[in-house]
Amino acid sequence: MTEQKTDIAFVLYENMTALDLVGPYEVLSAVPSATGHFVAATREPVRADNGLTVQPTTTFAELTRPGIVVVPGGSGWRNALEARDLIGWLAAVHPTTSWTTSVCTGSTLLAKAGVLAGRTATTHWACRDVLAGLGVEVSTDRVVFDGDVVSAAGVSAGIDMALRLVARVWGEEAAQRITLGLEYDPQPPFDTGSPDKAPAEMVTALHAAVNAL
């Protein structure tokens, strides 16, 4: 029996963080029955916050029923909160998606679109208070499943989120195979990847820098 095809929308907006997008893309695009789409307000190239440019393959107006949505975070999230086309599209497509997901501060966009009403979600550690201020029950977990919504903490957590989603949708063997293919075997050279582990002064400085964006 042929496996049902799944259209996955990877949302683009100015000054998103590239790894928020590309991490989940590399995982989910490895599923043979999945088709990835880079969706934005227009087909004009979109610049990530560190300069990488991504070419949209479709627009919000054209892609109206994706099976899965992935919303990255980035330094442009505050401006994206005011992007009516983007927020309106998220609100419109969520009722018919199988899964709506976010990485990092992408969860603030889901909150603005009403997707996280009454739900628990996570975000980058430096923006937890912002997400809470949008009426969301905030978790410190790296990946949070709440019904058909999945959120990941900061940046690199998007890879974990995508692998867990693959396991949930296509089975653990598929997720294990993708993990091996990516050689995803984290061995960070510095144990400062969490605010619980990093020096307090570093945490304070980075928190201020992130919230000044």
210 domain-assigned: no
Strand order in the sheet with 68-71: 58-59, 34-40, 6-11, 68-71, 99-103, 149-152, 143-146
Residue 2: the pLDDT is 53
Cα 122 to Cα 137: distance, rounded to the nearest angstrom: 8
Look up tokens 């990255």; give the residue. Answer: 72
Instruction: Tell me the one-letter amino acid at 91.
Output: A
DSSP-derived letter for residue 154 is S
Lookup: tokens for 212: 């000044």
Cα 113 to Cα 106: distance, rounded to the nearest angstrom: 11
Structural domain including 146 reads: 6-188
Q: Which H or E run contains 182?
A: none
Provide the annotated active-site residues.
Answer: 104
Lookup: tokens for 213: 């964006």
Contact between residue 110 and residue 152 where contact means Cβ atoms under 8 Å apart: no
201 domain-assigned: no
Cα 109 to Cα 124: distance, rounded to the nearest angstrom: 13
Look up tokens 């605010």; give the residue. Answer: 195
171 domain-assigned: yes
Residue 213: the pLDDT is 80
43 domain-assigned: yes
Look at 213 and 29; give whichever has higher pLDDT: 29
Task: Determine the length of the chain.
Answer: 213
197 domain-assigned: no
The reported pTM is 0.96
16 domain-assigned: yes
The CATH number of whichever domain residue 180 belongs to comes to: 3.40.50.880
At 139-179, the pLDDT tens digits run: 999 999 999 999 999 999 999 999 999 999 999 999 999 99
Cα 111 to Cα 97: distance, rounded to the nearest angstrom: 16
At 52-99, the pLDDT tens digits run: 999 999 999 999 999 999 999 999 999 999 999 999 999 999 999 999
Number of domains in the chain: 1
At 104-149, the pLDDT tens digits run: 999 999 999 999 999 999 999 999 999 999 999 999 999 999 999 9
67 domain-assigned: yes
26 domain-assigned: yes
